[in-house]
Amino acid sequence: MAEQRISSIPQWKKSRVQWLIEIIIALGAILMILPFFIALLATFKPETEIIQFEGVFPRDWTLINYQKIFENSEEIPVIRWLFNSILISSSITILVVFVTSMAAYSLSRLRPPGGRAAFTLIVATIMIPGQLFLVPVYLILNFLHWLDTPLALIVPAASGAFGVFLLSQFFYSIPKDLEDAAEIDGCSIWGVYWHIVLPLMKPALSTLAILTFIGSWNDFLGPLVFLDSTTQLTLPVGIALFQTSYFIEYGITLAASAIATFPAIVIFLIFQKQIIKSISLTGLKG
Amino acid sequence: MDKTISSSRRHDLAAYLFLAPYLTLFAVFILLPFVYSLLLSLFRWEMVSLTPPRFIGWGNYAEALHSDYFWKAMWVTFKFVIMLAPMMLLLSLLAALGINACGAFRQPIYRAAYFIPALISVSVAGILWRWFYNTDFGLFNAYLSELGWRIPWITSSKLAIVSIVLMTLWWGIGGTTIILIAGLQGIPDSYYEAAAIDGAGRIHQFFYITLPQLRPILLFITVMNIIGSFQVFGQTFMITGGGPELSTRTMVQYIYETAFTNYRMGYGSAMSWLLFVVIGIFAVMQFRILKEQ
């Protein structure tokens, strides 16, 4: 594709310009990735080498930072935070997938009276900046006695309009024939949803699930405001709070950060194509 | 006749049942908070004190508009947005154009490399850059010291916000780049071919084909960037904590401190609404400017 676009440029010039562009892009790519390597390598350094920077590579390779994480589970409960993060992000993902897929199915296929108005209202809230909800949602969660429990993060997460919007867009692209046929065959609406719609929606649902999981895994403000006790925190917020409020060794924080980052990167590398496609789509549809 | 009516009723009932779980959550965690926050902003209420909430009308808004701290935080936020938004747009557009011009097999690799920083939590990104920026043992100064330089990245009240912008560029550029690459690849090749036949050079093609075709996406990205960067919080909270001398305390951090450190719920809500209004004005302005051209 790119070849055709610049066909007006003479052959020798084209390759030279193209190589120059590619070299700049490659250097940029290295620059983007470099911080990860530097930080990852630093987790294998003893603390003295981190504070007294001498080079990117460790002089004395050590696993002491990771060891300390597992040994000091009383002081810095990284394993507990990891468990909390997994529990919260998975619950959010499952809840969001079910609740929003049912809503999107109803709004774009079953179309009850008033459905259009509801859809417009729901989609309009996407543009409201999240900071506006911070104080009132805190007070509502306080009223429900959900603060400082996983529920404080899990339940409100399923109210977001993004999923409904994304899945409704998807419904426009698949034909209704199959659902109609099933309904004529005497399938109940629930049966149609469960046996036909959900399997059909698999690509869109997995996109939503991946984006939701990564988003909630990395969420910062939510856990910071709605959780309080050390044992309840999620991994990213746990390390953040410990680093800013206590004197804690850099090596340990960096090692814990590596553990916190690992799942998101692995998920990305596995589902790369799908993630990139879905992010592109959200941009193009908007 | 009767049968069709009852079956369509059953159909509607089922539709409402499917909608019910989401609508309940939407009502409790989106609609209710929206209204609740507006009401709260009209009350004086310290959550930890025993004094019950008291209606004071526009009192909280007046207090904010007369407060130096409020304007300081608004100014810091504004500076951040003004520095970040154009740079983000320009750099991600250049990255997208560049990646799109690279060999087809290597494109996914570059794309992934530019996107990976966007995958990490702001807390991890903050931890890394706080370490890089450290004046005494940070990575940047370790290398710069060999040139005899020692830059106070996050300890100077002039420079700190710039350092936060730099870090945010690294962290946030990937998402926009991916959207722009998709936009570029959505432009039909025939447009370029026709232009080439007409003798249009590369620069001409960029301004007369690429940019106009990308406009809806550029509009979307700009508006989303503006909405997002006005709400900057995690980076400054992690790297500078709002310092030095409040030079990086943004609006959301100030709201956070007002509501959750001092428990002034009404005042915090009023400031949230003021920020909402500012974001709204900017978003609408972007729409106007980019739509009209």
CB contact under 8 A, A103 and B22: yes
Instruction: List CB contacts (< 8 A) between A283 and chain B.
Output: 178-180, 182-183, 217, 220-221
First to last CA, chain B: 56
Query: B108 is in which domain, residue-wise?
Result: 64-292
Instruction: Spell out the CATH class of A75-285.
Output: mainly alpha
Tokens read off for B238: 């992690």
B80 shares its domain with B29: no
Q: Are residues B256 and B210 in the same domain?
A: yes
Nearby residues of A240 by Cβ (< 8 Å), 6 or more positions away: A220, A224, B123, B126, B127, B237, B238
Over range B36-53, report the average pLDDT: 90
Specify if B16 maps to a domain. Answer: yes
Shared-domain flag, residues B182 and B239: yes
Same domain for B142 and B196, yes or no, is yes
Using only the alpha carbons of chain B, give its radius of gyration: 25
Q: Do B34 and B163 fall into the same domain? A: no
User: Å from B247 to nearest chain A CA?
Assistant: 18
Chain B touched by A124 (CB under 8 Å): no
Q: What share of chain B is helix, strand, coil (3-state, %, to 5)?
A: 75, 0, 25
Inter-chain CB proximity A156 and B37 less than 8 Å:
no
Minimal Cα distance from A40: which residue of B? B128
Among A51-60, B102-111, B260-269, the least confident range:
A51-60
Report the distance separating Cα B175 and Cα B178, nearest Å.
5
pLDDT score at B60: 93
Residue B45: its chain A contacts at CB < 8 A?
Answer: none
Q: Which residues of chain B have a CB within 8 Å of the CB of A136?
A: 32-34, 36-37, 40, 269
Q: Which two tokens stand for residue B279?
A: 């974001």
- So what's the pLDDT on residue A4? 46
Using a CB–CB cutoff of 8 Å, tell me whether A146 touches chain B.
no
B241 or B291, greater pLDDT: B241
C-alpha of A83 from chain center: 17
Nearest CA distance, A239 vs chain B (angstrom) = 8
Count, residues in chain B: 293
State the total domains in chain B.
2
- Give the A window 19-78 contacts with B, CB below 8 Å: 21-22, 24-26, 28-30, 32-33, 35-36, 38-39, 42, 50-53
- For chain A, what is the mean pLDDT? 85
Confidence of residue B276 (pLDDT cuts 50, 70, 90): very high
Q: What is the rounded CA–CA span in Å between residue B201 and residue A86?
A: 53
Instruction: Tell me: do B29 and B117 sit in the same domain.
Output: no
- Cα separation of A215 and A236, whole Å? 12
Q: Is A175 on the interface with B (CB under 8 A)?
A: no
Radius of gyration of chain A, Cα coordinates, nearest whole angstrom: 24
In a domain, B54, yes or no: no
Smallest CA–CA distance, residue B107 to chain A, in Å, is 10
Percent of chain B with pLDDT over 70: 97
Whether the per-residue pLDDT at B249 is higher than 50: the answer is: yes
Taking residue B254's Cβ as centre, other Cβ atoms within 10 Å add up to 25
Q: How far apart are CA B173 and CA A135, in angstroms?
A: 30
The answer on B258 and B127 residing in a single domain is: yes
Distance, CA of B77 to CA of B233 (rounded, Å)? 9
Q: What is the three-state SS of chain A?
A: CHHHHCCCCCHHHHHHHHHHHHHHHHHHHHHHHHHHHHHHHHCCCCHHHHHCCCCCCCCCCCCHHHHHHHHCCCCCCHHHHHHHHHHHHHHHHHHHHHHHHHHHHHHHHHCCCCHHHHHHHHHHHHHCCHHHHHHHHHHHHHHCCCCCCCHHHHHHHCCCCHHHHHHHHHHHHCCCHHHHHHHHCCCCHHHHHHHHHHHHCHHHHHHHHHHHHHHHHHCCHHHHHHCCCHHHCCHHHHHHHHHHHCCCCHHHHHHHHHHHHHHHHHHHHHCHHHHHHHHHHHHHHC
Mean pLDDT within A193-213: 86
Tell me which range, A206-210, B215-219, B251-255, is most confidently predicted by mean pLDDT. B251-255
Is the pLDDT assigned to residue A286 strictly greater than 60?
no
Q: What is the pLDDT of residue A23?
A: 92
From residue B63, give the alpha-carbon distance in Å to each of A136, A142, A155, B59, B199.
Answer: 20, 27, 35, 6, 62
In this prediction, residue B267 has a pLDDT band, given cuts at 50, 70 and 90, of: very high
> pLDDT confidence of A247, banded at 50, 70, 90?
low
Nearest CA-CA distance, residue A28 and chain B, Å: 8
Contact B170 A32 (CB under 8 A): yes
Residues 6+ apart with CB under 8 A from B277: none
Domain ranges of chain A: 2-70, 75-285
Specify whether B25 is located in the same domain as B149.
no
- DSSP of B74-99, one letter per residue? HHHHHHHHHHHHHHHHHHHHHHHHHH
Can you give the length of chain A in residues? Answer: 286
Least confident window among A46-60, A269-283, B170-184: A269-283
Q: Is residue B11 part of a domain?
A: yes
Looking at beta carbons, which residues of chain A come within 8 Å of B90? none
Residue B55, classed as helix, strand or coil, is strand
Instruction: Considering only the beta carbons, identify the residue of B112, B127, B183 that sits closest to A284.
Output: B183
- Residue A24: its chain B contacts at CB < 8 A? 98
| pLDDT > 70 fraction of chain A, expressed in percent and rounded | 91
B47 found inside a domain:
no
Residue B52 included in any domain: no
d(CA A61, CA A225) in angstroms, rounded, equals: 38
**How is residue B140 written in tokens?**
């940047």
Residues B276 and B142 in one domain: yes
CB B238 within 8 A of CB A240: yes
- Phi, psi (rounded to 5 degrees) for A244: -85, -25
Of B108, B119, B275, the CB nearest to A214: B119
User: How many C-beta atoms lie closer than 10 Å to residue A212's C-beta?
Assistant: 23
Q: How far is B198 from chain A (nearest CA, A)?
A: 10
pLDDT tier at A188 (50, 70, 90 boundaries)? confident
Portion 184-203 of A in contact with B at CB < 8 A: 189-190, 193
Q: Is B29 helix (H, G, I), strand (E, B) or coil?
A: helix
Which of helix, strand or coil describes residue B140? helix
- The rounded distance, in Å, linking the Cα atoms of B286 and B292 is 10
Q: Are residues B184 and B235 in the same domain?
A: yes
B48 CB-side CA count, 13 A: 7
Which of B116, B189, B231 is facing A1, going by the closest CB pair?
Answer: B189
pLDDT in tens, A41-68: 989 988 888 877 778 888 888 888 888 8
pLDDT band at A2 (very low <50, low <70, confident <90, very high): very low
Using CA atoms, how far apart are residues B187 and B275, in angstroms rounded to an integer? 37
B123 to A239: CB separation less than 8 angstroms, yes or no: yes
CB contact (8 A) between residue B192 and residue A122? no
Test A218 with B178 for CB contact under 8 angstroms: no
**For residue B243, what is the domain's CATH number?**
1.10.3720.10
DSSP state of B245: T
Instruction: Flag if A257 and B98 touch (Cβ within 8 Å).
Output: no
Q: Which of B32, B182, B200 sits opposite A140 (nearest CB)?
A: B32
Q: What is the pTM of this model?
A: 0.89
Residues B88 and B199 in one domain: yes
Q: Which of A18-22, B69-73, B177-181 has the highest mean pLDDT?
A: B69-73
The answer to whether B202 contacts A8, with C-beta atoms less than 8 Å apart, is yes
User: Nearest CA of chain B to the CA of A186: how many Å?
Assistant: 12
Question: B196 and B288, same structural domain?
Answer: yes
How many beta-carbon pairs below 8 A join chains A and B? 295
N- to C-terminal Cα distance for chain A?
25
Please report where in the chains the tokens 């507006």 appear, as a residue.
Answer: B38
Adjacent-strand bridge partners of B54: B44
- A29-40 mean pLDDT: 92
Phi-psi region of B241 (alpha: psi -120 to 50; beta: other; left: phi over 0): left
pLDDT (average), residues B153-163: 91
- How many other CB atoms are there within 10 angstroms of residue B289's CB atom? 11
> Is B49 inside any structural domain?
no
